[in-house]
Structure 1
Amino acid sequence: MYRPNGNFLRRFLKRSFCSAENIDSKVQIFDRHLKRKQRDRAAWLLNRKDSLVNTVADNLVDRLEDVKKTFPSALCLGGSMEAIRRSIRGRGGIEKLIMMDSSYDMVKLCKDAEKDLSSDNIETSFMVADEEYLPIKESSVDLVISCLGLHWTNDLPGAMIQSRLALKPDGLFLAAIFGGETLKELRIACTIAHMEREGGVSPRVSPLAQVRDAGNLLTRAGFTLPGVDVDEYQVRYNSALELIEHLRAMGESNALVNRIKFLKRDTALATAAVYESMFAAEDGSIPATFQVIYMTGWREHESQQKAKRRGSATVSFKDIQKEFGGQTT
């Protein structure tokens, strides 16, 4: 069975968490410059066969097949955009696609890979820009899609509002972000270790979006017909170190402005021991849970369904009870 040493967990808790939160844009929680550097590094570590990333991208793009309309122009924002580009093939009626990321190396990677996808006849352009300040004209695209990227913005509602403004009327917003159950095994191990070794819990992990908040985010951003659903994926690793390397390759390393740069050796070893004793499988593998929140919203258009005015119902519950002979509550 894998026995972690003191060095791996030091890296484990310093730099290996993805995050998301509904916060005020004046509060700088995440170091965007550091996040760009991390994504530059991730471009060189990227595994195109990453089953987690590819599954999330496929599930997100699959939602285009749930609607009858087409989306001739689309904007793909950061995150796992290389996986999104491969998943789009022939779906959604996309003719023009803008690929945008804050990382130059990530954009270059997608541009280099475009030659293998040219057969789908999608006119693709590339842009280096920050998701917090979209350089996109208002009402200029039919679709905005983001896969595992927006949770690193300091102002998530603001980024979503900008996305809505970039959409044409009746345009679609699709996004996937990590939810609060992500890496729950590691969070438990951290908490127990800190209580045992330091007598309290120190902030090691940035907050993640909760499922209950996703609908409010869509509504606050002004989207109509909001939709939210959740999937959980459990990935097994040969060791916790392998988990950390996977997070680095996804660009999900810690980017908190007030991130803790040093970790006590005893606490690190205790965390490793707790993680292994509580969650390791019989074969020595380490499980990690990833919760993904999928969000769908539309820019308002007169053709969309609208809620009826309160009190406008033409059938009462008493009539329904008489018709079906059941009991209403």
Structure 2
Amino acid sequence: MSEDYRRNNPSDAIVEQMVLIDIRNMLQSMGKEIKSFPLPEIDNTYDDACGVPHEIFKESNIESIEDDVALSDSLNNEQRAAYDEILSSIDSKDGGLFFVDGPGGTGKTFLYRALLAKVRSQNKIAVATATSGVAASIMPGGRTAHSRFKIPLTIESGGYCSFTKQSGTATLLRTASLIIWDEVSMIKKQKVEALDNSMRDIMDRPDLPFGGKTVVFGGDFRQVLPVVRKGSRAQIVDASLRRSYLWDYMRHLKLVRNMRAHSDPWFAEYLLRIGNGIEESNVDGEVRLPDEICVPYTGDDNDLDRLIQCIFPNLNENMANKDYITSRAILSTAMIGLIVLI
């Protein structure tokens, strides 16, 4: 554990203190104290946290991005209504549960970032998590829900998260004013219920969902649902959050205005019709894509070139433009299958 520190600190005393602080942080996350073990004492001179649990120290030092602080001024009417209602619940003693429901492109992450910046600018703690690492990475200070809440990989109904009442994680959750969990539609309901059971326990408020904290869930049930090994459609639906006892406690906030496709309202409405299952389909449930959004396949050798030219027009002139490159992609069928599995 000391090798990395030795590269930047020639002093054995400093290296020893850095390692001891790391060990203390690991023990705290497991609900243990370093003083319970025969190890040298930590010199507070080298301890930036000065005894504050590592989890709280890290969350408290997440700096609000200046652009995020100004996001609240750019919210549309739907986002503004959700933003105001969620902030109001933070100040109430009983908190509140919210589910932000919206297809991709309606600005769920935009809303989360505005909320996080606002709460943190008030010197309060806001915990940002998501089911997937990609979704977590686009929120400042974001972590996966499994990592942050110590959720067991396999869990049955009535289970608990694996942190203790004395752990740094428990202290962080007790202190937090806001908890955000994005892409919760992808996870089994038992894992959300495990956090609920643990929160009721550490808050000593067993009669209130999540112990009276303000918790914001988000997701889109039109997208990937929980994975049930060899499960039927009914079993997959039953594993989702909508079949949890928590669903009835949630205030449902809908975002329907597609901000990514505001310049193409026809396409935004088309995506909604497919997601809602009301677009015309054949007996096998297949939807025919309109000709205007398809690149014809003729079977000759130039089909691939036409596809590349359609997706990447004037590629050579725009090769150095990051916005051009990151705003378009060609996915192979193998890659699409991998995304669905993930």
Taking CA–CA contacts closer than 8 Å with sequence separation of 6 or more, which of the two structures ends up with the larger relative contact order?
1
TM-score by length of 1: 0.32
TM-score by length of 2: 0.32
Q: Larger Cα Rg: Structure 1 or Structure 2?
A: 2
Pick the structure with more strand per residue: 1
